Each structure stands twice: as C-alpha cells, then as structure tokens.
Amino acid sequence: MSFRSLNIGKRGVLAQQFAQNVVSNNISNVNTPGYSRRAAVLTENFAQTTKGGQQGNGVFPEAVRSYRDFFFERDFRDNTSRLNRSTMDSTVVQRIETLLGEPSDGGLDFAIEQLYTAFEQASLKPEDIGLRSLILTKADSVVKQFRDIDQRVNELRSDMFVKTRFSLQEVNRITAEIANLNKEIGKFPTEEAAAIFVDQRSELLIKLAKYGDVTVSNDRGGAININLGNMPVIAGTESYNLDLRESVAPTGERTAFIARVDNFGNQLSVVTPNSGEFASFLQHYNQTLDDQDSSGGYSIMSRFNDLANAIGTRINDVFSTGYGLDDPAGPPPGLNFFEAQGGGAISARNIQIATTINGQPRRLTLSDAPNEPGNANIARAISNLSTDQTIISGRSAANFLNHTYSELGNIGADAATGVTAFNLVAEQLTIQRENAQGVNLDEETVDLMKFQRAFQASARVITTSNELLLTIINLGR
C-alpha cells in the first residue's frame, strides 16, 4: 500500500511540475507576438484492479493543449487584407492630391483660367505686342502644368512599381518560411506537439495577409496549403515564387501583373489578389495612374490627357481661322496654337505651343480678317471658350477639372471610411483573439499557485508514505 502511495506521490510531483512549467512558459511569453496560450492536460493514470475493486495509480501528464481558434485567425487575416487595401488606396489618393496641388493659385485650373483671361485682355487692344506676348506666357504656364502633372504621376506610378517588387521579395521569403515550417511540423505526431512552429506559421500568415487575400486549407502531416488570391503559393512543403511583370499593348498601354514563376523564372500563371496591398497597387497602376487606360474606370491621367486634347483642339479650331498682324489678304494661314510634340494627338505629356507661333507674338491670329490690327474677334471667341459647356464631356474646362477632383476626393473618402471601419473591426477581433488564445497573467498566476500547492501536497504524500514504511519496518524488528 505504501509503495503504491510512493508511486502515486512521485507521479503527482512530476505531473504538477510539468503543469508548472507550462504555466511558467505562458507567463514568460505574455508579450510574444503570435503566441497561443498552452494548458497542461492531466489525466488519471491507469487503475489497478484488486479484490476490493479498482484502485487509482495517480496522475499522468498526457499532453499540452494550445488555445487556438482557427475561425478567429481566418477572420483576422481577412480583415487585415481589407484594411491594408483601404489604407493603400487612401495613401495613393493623398499622394495624387498632393502632387496636383489643387485648388491653388499655381495649379492647372488657375493656369487655364489665366490663359483665357489673357485672350480677353488682348481682345481690348489686339495690336499691343505686350498683351500678345502675355498670351504666349500664359500658354507656356498651361503647357508646364500639364507636363508637370504627367511627370509627377508617372514618377508616382514608377515608385509604386519598385516598392511592390520589393514587397514581392518579402512575400517570397514568407512563403518559403511557411513551407519550411510545414516540413518541421510534419515531423511531430500532432500539431499540438509542434505548437511553437504552429504559432510561428500563424504569425507569418497574418503578415502575408497584408499583401493579399489568403485562403488556407489543410494538408497531410499538419501542413497547410495557401492560396494568395486565385492561385496557390504554397502546396505542402513547396512554395512558389512571385514576380512583378509588365505587358505592353499595341496601343502603348502598360499593364502590371503578378506572375507565379518556377525556379527558372518561367511564368506559370497570373495571380489576381482581391484585397490587400497588391490588389490596391494593381488597380492604381493599371487604371488610376495609367495614361493609356482602356478599362473605362477612373483614370486621373486619362482625364488630363482628354482635357489637354480638348483644350488644344478647340482653341486650334478657332485660332486656325484667324490672321496675324502681318498676314496678307487671302485665305487664313491656318496656324495652330497648340500642337503635340513629335506629332499625333495632343496629350498632357506632349502638349506644346506650336513652333510656328512660339516666341512670335505678331503671328498670333487674333483677327478674323487680314490687315485689321484692331480686329479681335478670334481673341474674343477663344476667350469665350472659358464658359463653353461643350469643351469636354458636356462641361467647361473648369467644371471638368472640378468634377475630376471631386471624383478623386470621393475615392479618397471611401478609402478613409474603409480604414476607419476595418480598424474598428481589427480592434474587436484583436480583443476576441486575445481572450481566446492570449495569455492572461491573472489566470496564469492563479494556475501557478494551484499547481504549486498540488506539488507540495504530492510531496507530502511521499513524505507520509515514507514515514509509514519506516514504521512498518520498525515493527518487524
């Protein structure tokens, strides 16, 4: 009887020490990112059958259980993807608004208005060379504004491309590490036994979710398969590399896409993320900032190209019917005011003052008849274009710009609303996640004291059993 008590006490001491170690590990990892709380699973040791019935043989530390809720983790990843999509959308819109600098006295809207005003002023005294030179000065300001916007937007577009390429390198590192963790987890009989590796993998999945929507499915041996968007990037212990590439259409439209490639860089498929930073990048690179966009969606550069073409074409239509100060009688010379550098259609990138009149104010065709220096009908007609509601898309140039900026503002407002909403959801999910699998120091302290007392009691069982054995031995002497 006493020998059994000694064994029961020994098992109790070892089991409570095991549980104390688990609790101590929880406490030490209270601030470790991704750590899930563990609990010792203690079960009754096998019973021994005697004539008097079954008699217990103490306790057995069966396993360590991790408090992990995969549904919370899935929701947390999904919300992380949506949050980062909205955050990047908001950031891109803010950068566009900053580089446009509207409304201001130095922006495109102001420059166009000043050009029309210069024509109006010249209509009052069309033979004045100073007023004619002012028209060319204001036209040059319009050209510089269009070209500056085009350059800045393209710099932003290129900057996003470079940063996304670096982000893809980080994604490749993450997926390779997850595939390696899958391999390590497979060496253990259960996921519970590989809790440290499972925690590390879960934390990496959250990092991966920043870039795109992550779908997880279980594989053999505790491994997981992962899709980023519509394509698998991890299959068990194998990972696929991603690369940022660009295709060029015959029209010159450049379209970025994320390719899944083999070890030799050969393209296997195209990855299409639905959320996360990559989804935001693809939308803005291929649409918002693309001056050749053919999708029909909101493209800020397509709008500026259309505006530059509309203003140039409408002014040219009127200007080409006029006469300069030195033009002889006969048909008008048919000069243009604006032209496309290098030929073709006028756009924000190539607009320039026509070389036939640039720096030559006397050649400005402000009169609708030859040899009439006081005639300003052409200048007046061009000035009236400032309020013409048929310039572009049923609007004047000023109204078209205001509408363009308003649409951009709405996109930014929607993104900011998304950031606020998804941040709120993230806070709630974080609290729920911490409650489900985080370490609570108060609870761990209580458990530590509980197992400490159980340890002391088991040790007392050993001491008492030893004393009983000594008494029995002494009785036989």
From first to last of its 477 residues, the chain has per-residue pLDDT tens of: 456 777 888 888 888 898 899 899 989 988 888 888 888 888 887 766 666 666 667 888 888 888 887 888 899 999 999 999 999 999 999 999 998 876 666 789 999 999 999 999 999 999 999 999 999 999 999 999 999 999 999 999 999 999 999 999 999 999 999 999 999 999 888 877 888 899 999 999 999 999 999 999 988 888 999 999 999 999 999 999 999 999 999 988 999 999 999 988 899 999 999 999 999 999 999 999 999 988 888 999 999 999 999 999 999 999 999 999 999 999 999 999 999 999 999 999 999 999 999 999 999 999 999 999 999 999 999 999 999 999 999 999 999 999 999 999 999 999 999 999 999 999 998 888 888 888 888 888 898 899 899 888 888 887 887 777 777 777 766
At residue 220, the 3 state secondary structure works out as helix
Q: Which long-range contacts link 380-383 to residues 24+ away (Cβ below 8 Å)?
A: 380/119, 380/120, 380/123, 381/318, 382/116, 382/119, 382/315, 382/318, 382/319, 383/116, 383/117, 383/119, 383/120, 383/123
The three-class DSSP label of residue 375 is coil
Query: Does 7 reside within a domain?
Result: yes
Query: Is residue 367, in this structure, part of any structural domain at all?
Result: no
Label residue 105 exposed, middle or buried (CB < 10 Å: 0-12, 13-18, 19+).
exposed
Residues facing residue 60 across a β-bridge: 43
User: pTM of the full predicted structure?
Assistant: 0.85
336 assigned to some structural domain? no
Backbone φ and ψ for 281, nearest 5 degrees, come out as: -60, -50
Indicate if the alpha-carbon torsion angle 415, 417, 423, 425 is positive or negative.
negative
SS3 state at 34:
coil
In a domain? residue 335: no
Token pair recorded at residue 96: 């566009």
Domain boundaries, position 55: 2-67+441-475
Q: Are 379 and 318 in contact (CB under 8 A)?
A: no
In contact, 440 and 86? CB cutoff 8 Å: no
Determine, yes or no, domain membership for 216.
no
In a domain, 465, yes or no: yes
Contact (CB, 8 A) for 242 and 265:
no
Domains: count for the chain: 1
Whether 332 is in a domain gets the answer no
Residue 33 resides in a domain: yes
